[in-house]
Amino acid sequence: MSEGLEYSLYRSTASRALRAGELEDILAAARARNQAMSLTGCLHYEDGLFFQWLEGPADALREVLGSILRDDRHRDIAVLVEGALEHRRFQDWRMRFSDRDRASLLDWLASAEVSTMDRRDYAAAVMSFLQSVEA
């Protein structure tokens, strides 16, 4: 296992409708920050919901998650799963992005009959979707 490599998957709700170009600005800032901090991951945005997987060195991940928790552009932040990681899932992506135009996570979860009651199963299903979506 890579020493100190960790991951976190969270879901949050946008606190307001995003303005034109705002999502692109968020992605550009995330990619630059992730490059500087050796983080990789994936962001999916759909119907006012953010789903984000982040992975990398433990200290950098904790710092970025702290910043995310303080960001007023979203609320109701729920960490679905986190822990140690043997290898990166998104090693070639500073911040991969998907949205409803590429594929609907919410429709996919509904068709797979994934319950939100079991957080680990729900998180595994979200991660499976994120890895399967074409970039």
Q: What is the pLDDT of residues 97-124, one digit of tens each?
A: 999 998 999 998 888 877 666 777 888 8
Rounded CA separation 13/4 (Å): 29
pTM: 0.87
CATH code of the domain made up of 5-132: 3.30.70.100
Q: How much is the pLDDT for 135?
A: 60
Pick from 53, 52, 49, 40: nearest CA to 104 = 49
List of residues 6+ apart from 42 with CB closer than 8 A: 52, 53, 89, 90, 93, 95, 96, 97, 98, 130, 131
State the first-to-last Cα distance of the chain, in angstroms, to the nearest integer: 27
Q: Where are the domains of the chain?
A: 5-132
Instruction: Check whether 6 has a pLDDT greater than 60.
Output: yes
Q: What is the mean pLDDT of the segment spanning 77-87?
A: 93
Pick from 87, 66, 93, 92: nearest CA to 3 = 87
